[in-house]
Amino acid sequence: MKYLIIGLGNIGAEYEITRHNIGFLTLDRLADQQKVEFETLKLAMKSEFKYKGRHIHLIKPTTYMNLSGKAVNYWMQELKIPKENILVITDDIALPFGKLRLRAKGSAAGHNGLKNIEDMTGGQNYARLKFGIGDNFHKGQQVDYVLSPFTQQEFDELPFIMDKACEMVLGFSTIGVNRTMSEFND
C-alpha cells in the first residue's frame, strides 16, 4: 500500500521556521527519524520510506503554500495514490498552539493552501492533520502572525509536539484515519 503525506509550507530561508511552515518542519522531523533525505523533484521536495509494509511518500511542495494543490495533484497521479491515502499536514490558527487534530475530511476554513488542494484534486474528501499555532494576533495581522517565527517557548516545545504528529502520520498509514483519530485526538 502506498501513502502520500504532504507537509504544507513555503520555500525559502525567510519562511523556514515560521508557523505557516509547520507541515515542512514536521516532515523534516519524520524524515530524520526514518533516516531518509529529501531531493528536489518536479513541484516538490520528495522523500520516501517503508514502514510496516507500507510505502510512505513525503512531499513538501515547492509551489508556495497557495498553489500546493498543483504539487499534490501531480504526485497523486504520478504515484497512483488514491485520495483516501493522502494526508496533508497544515497549520491551524483555530487551534491552540500545540494541539493536533486529525480529520478524515473537512473544509479549507480560509486556509489558501487547503483551498487550492481542494480545487486541484476535486473536493474536501482527503485527510488532514491540523497543527495548532494559536491565534495570538490583532485583527488584520493574521498574515504577519502565520509568517512569523515561533516564540522561544513554542520552539522549545515543538520537538515533542512534532514527535506526536509523526506518530499520527505513521498511524494514519498503518491503522487508518479512524483508529488514529480515536487514539490521538483530544
Cell of 185: 485526538
Is the separation of the CB atoms in 142 and 134 below 8 Å?
no
Give the active site residue among 20, 55, 57, 111: 20
The secondary structure of 26-82 as a DSSP string is HHHHHHHHHT---EEETTEEEEEEEETTEEEEEEEESS-GGGHHHHHHHHHHHHT--
Q: Is 55 a catalytic residue?
A: no
Is the separation of the CB atoms in 61 and 43 below 8 Å?
yes
Q: What positions carry a catalytic annotation? A: 20
